[in-house]
Chains A and B, each alone.
Chain A
Amino acid sequence: MSVTFIIIACVAVLLFLLITGCPIFICLGAAGAIGIFLNGGISGLSLLQTTVFGAVSKSTLVAAPLFMLMGEIIFRSGIGTNLYNALSRILHRLPGGLAIATVIASAIFGAMCGVSIAAVASIGVIALPEMLKRNYDPRLAAGAVCAPGALAMLIPPSLLFILYGEIAGVSVARLFTAGILPGILLVLLMCGYIIIYELRYSKKHVHEENPDPITWKETAEIIRGLWAPLLLIVGVLGSIYSGIATPTESAAIGVIGAYIIAAAIYRNFDWQTFRATLSHSARITATILIVFVGAVIFTQFLNLLRVPDAFAMFVTSLEMSPWITMLAVQIMLLTLGMFVDGASMILITTPILFPTMKALHWDPIWFGVLMVTNINIAVITPPVGLNLYTLASITRDVDMETILKGTMPYVIVEFIGLLILIAIPQISLWLPGLMR
């Protein structure tokens, strides 16, 4: 059987299963297994013996469930509420102050939590009604909740970076460090957009003063409640950045620290919540790592037939300018990301694109940052924008149309951010370059 036929058959199987709505781990796993079988027969399949076990028994991958558990604890502890309250008190005099507070609170929340919908759910619940009460434009308010929630994927710790690092063979610690400045860049761009919007339309939406503002004394109390979580962020990220601890070790510190903070400071953390954090994280871990196993099987099939190398040769033979290639790749990723979730997208595309990336001398860390930024845009773009649906599911104050219209400007803002990151790789590479 010709190699070309096998490849076409497997890609056809993959796409058919993907589009009809088959679980993604099966799309990847079945397409990979069929390919391996067509190529090497039954004996070829015995390759899977070591593949499946080896895919998951990796110490770097252990960081993934631990960071998810840490995020889950933070999510259920109520830290998000305090974070938003403190920031909104400090920032409320700025034009669009509450929206800016939402953006920054989501970003800080993202530094404790690696998945994008957690910030939308925990900060959106309090920030959105507060903004609407104070006569903010519902669109602006909805957008300010929806878009920055995705920053959790870019701002370390990030699940996507762990998966990408594992597949591309890049240091997760460096990827985490690389995400910091691009995350800050996107926060600044979003805040800039909010300020410009508010200055332009401030006459239309005059914000009412908070009828019963929290006093500075209360604010001080809230901030006092926040020092521990902030210390946790600094400890976790600082230990990774300084090279004292591996991402896995700092994740374990993060988990224990988060449990202590949740139990000591936030009294609502009881036995049932504790069990819920475990059961939810265990399930999410299995959900994502099963897709990971599927992706490893598919990657093995691709590498067996040297598909990624062939793809790299094809791309370089086109002799396009690297910028055009980069733009084409990003648009392709963006299109795919409109339909597939972030983790699956990384797992499907990284093995195919990696040799191309090497052939064009793109830094894998830089490319990882671009990819995750891209996914940031994807989760707020319909038809499958995870954050859009998350917000719609937690609120009745705004409808889907308002959410969509409010979030669209952020798609443009983030795309501008993506272009800046493409044009200036140093934003992503400067900090990791300083690491030992």
Chain B
Amino acid sequence: MREASLPKRIDAANQKAIERLFQADPVLVDVIPAKEAIPALVDHTILHAGPPIAWDQMCGPMRGAVVGIAMFEGWADDLRQAEELASEDEFAFHPNHHFSAVGPMTGMTTRSQPVLVVENRAFGNRAFCTLNEGLGKVMRFGGNDASVLARLAWLRDVLGPALGAALRKSGGISLKPLVARGLTMGDEMHQRNVGCSSLIVRALAPDLARSVEDHSMLADMLAFLGANDQFFLNIAMAMGKAVMDPVRGIDAATVVTAMSRNGTDFGITVSGLDDQWFTAPVEMPTGLYFPGFTAADANPDMGDSTIVETVGLGGFAMAAAPAVAGFVGAGSAAEAANTTRTMGEITLARNPEWTMPSLDYQGVPTGIDIRLVVETGITPLINTGIAHREPGVGQVGAGVVRAPFDCFEKALTALADRLEVV
């Protein structure tokens, strides 16, 4: 009886999904212009974070980023003109995810920007992410003034090419072992990346030095990299995308392949449901605010960075990062450990290569199963930065936010239909 074997069929499919996930071999190999990485990125095409969204639904920071990047690319002379073009449907908006890419917060990806390239050597697929701009007034929070555009230009013309050259010289940096080290240093790769950011700069420095003849330029680059505790976030995101993409499209599998937000909607994709998005309104993060800011200033949840939780890091690995617990207002170290344990209720496996010393080297909970989310009512917990609702102001706090239950309910119903469960 076909019906009786359905759970077994799903379990087998999930097993295959987990195997593919763990077989991944993500390597940071290059930094190249986005148009080389993604040929479909022509003029007037803008990739954004999260599931599909139209201009008139975009939140303040995302609109700020759109008009800013339009100017950066030379598609508009000023912000007003950029806004007009946007409202006249002159730009083609697509999710990063549809083009093997991810981007933090507003997640703008356009043809001229340099993107990190992570190659999953086990399957040959690649994933891309722009370079992290640093803190403060930046485009990922909707910043679009001259200083923001100037920095983007510097990334495009100076740092990007230099990093690319250094990476090519190095033959690529294997990311799994680096992340494993970061977990023992208190990183969880979403809100806390200082360990891995330090490790990657250390790994790149010699080849960077060999690739940049001008000492003053090299000094500027190292200063920039050294000042950015979150530099590794974008690498971790591209890694997550590269790891999860081969897990897409396994018939009957219920493993989540992506989670993402566009400031309005939260979307998930599920292995057995190919690239279909299941969306619901984003929830508001709860957390701690920097001095001078309150919850009234917060933008709704945004960014592709939840790909990090999708592979078992971030909020899922909070037990490895007790310092983050206080930072995001999740409480004490014991509560951080409990968060990881609770995420264990909705995941199928523990990653043997990414272990947490404080939990007796238990592996991070990996492989979110939509059936377990629906059964237990426990939704994935995400460590996230909180952006100011006004474009360009920047980060105003950090907190935890949940993936909406409705996404999983919709996905489960769709899967049941697909599998012809009456």
Are A and B a genuine interacting pair, yes or no?
Answer: no
Q: Which residues of B contact A (CB under 8 A)?
A: none
Q: Which residues of A contact B (CB under 8 A)?
A: none
